[in-house]
Amino acid sequence: MKYLTALTSILAFGTVAAFAPSGASRHASTPLYNKPAGHDVRSDGVAKEMDPEELKIQQALAEHQQNAPKLGFPTDVRTLVQYNHGFAVMSTNSKSNPGFPGGSVVGFAPDELGRPIFIFSGMSSHTQDLLADPKCSLTIASKEFKGAADGRVNLMGEVTLLKQDEKEAAKAAYLAKHPGAFWVDFGDFNWFRMDEIVSVRFVGGFARAGSVTPEEYAEAKPDPVSAFGPAIASHMNDDHMSSTIAMVAHAIPGLEVSEAVITSVDSLGMYVKCTRTPRASDQPQQFKIRLPFPRKIEDRKDVKNVIVEMTRAAAASAAPEPAAAVAEE
């Protein structure tokens, strides 16, 4: 555990500045039980000295992550909303239980400005809540979400009924995301949209959180490579994990991992969840790193070409032990 604590400390102090978006709002925390802010980390009070070689690896990792190119926060947020599976948690002000929030899992689709579109039954509790008070929030998790290390977005705003002349465009956008939504033609279902977004909060994983303005969100465009990133990640994870492990070792010398699972792919690189057992420890640890591409990717074919280049470079640096080649498929 001492190595995991050290890694967390190095990443926290070495990379938070790089992860924070420019102009990100800072919110004061409300203290609990009159205790100072921060995490309560228990220890035996004895400072443990880290193995020098392990410390060197941790410092190299922190420096690499600080300098790794990433999508800007507005693009990250807009991309997550665009390529989500189309379901999210909506929190409304409950009409039937005043003073309490109501929670519902709802289907949605973003329009060209990233505004979520909904079609709700008039009998649904969240429909009645919105008609009484349009203020709500929508929590959207990334398509690959499995835990706290994965991305999620919270949009706060007002959800109101669409005008008659906006319904056909809304229907087209919704059916593109939910092609089997036969209920869009039901007479007792109504079209809604979050027109006025007032707050956009983003958590991209550990040590990567902040907010963007509604204007930045509206102006951002989804990253095009992220649209087919999950298919690339799945292929690499199923058939070429040894290549990903080799790429991690090549990017950060000394960092030997036993498992490297690609969680997302975008035009600037990949996020990889790694598993390793630190030196002088028998406890494995998991953490996510950014593995950048050598150049910006423009299309699907280019992703394949760059991953092949990275695999070959990793194999060359590891010679005479060859890394597994990426299949030519």
Digit-coded pLDDT (tens) for 128-171:
999 999 999 999 999 888 888 788 999 999 999 999 999 999 99
Average pLDDT over the chain, rounded to whole?
A: 84
For residue 211, the model assigns a pLDDT of: 92
3-state SS string for 140-181: EECCCCCCCCCCEEEEEEEEEECCHHHHHHHHHHHHHHCCCC
CA distance 114 to 299: 22
For residue 137, the model assigns a pLDDT of: 97
For residue 20, the model assigns a pLDDT of: 36
For residue 325, the model assigns a pLDDT of: 52
Strand blocks (E) in 4-147: 87-93, 101-107, 109-110, 116-121, 135-141
pLDDT along the chain (329 residues), means of 10: 39 36 44 49 55 88 93 94 96 94 96 96 95 97 84 96 96 96 93 96 81 95 95 95 96 94 95 88 87 94 94 86 50
| CA distance readout (Å), 202 to 72, 135, 209, 243, 246 | 12, 19, 6, 31, 31
For residue 144, the model assigns a pLDDT of: 81
Q: Which two tokens stand for residue 207?
A: 């040590």
> Which amino acid appears at position 268 of this protein?
L
CA distance 250 to 248: 5
For residue 1, the model assigns a pLDDT of: 39
For residue 283, the model assigns a pLDDT of: 84
The rounded radius of gyration (Å) of the Cα atoms in the chain is: 23
CA distance 319 to 237: 23
Q: Which of 235, 241, 250 has its CA nearest to residue 321?
A: 250
CA distance 178 to 107: 8
Burial of 66-105, coded b for 16+ CB within 10 Å and e otherwise, reads: eebebbebbbbbbbbbbbbebebebbbbbbeeeeeebebe
CA distance 92 to 134: 8
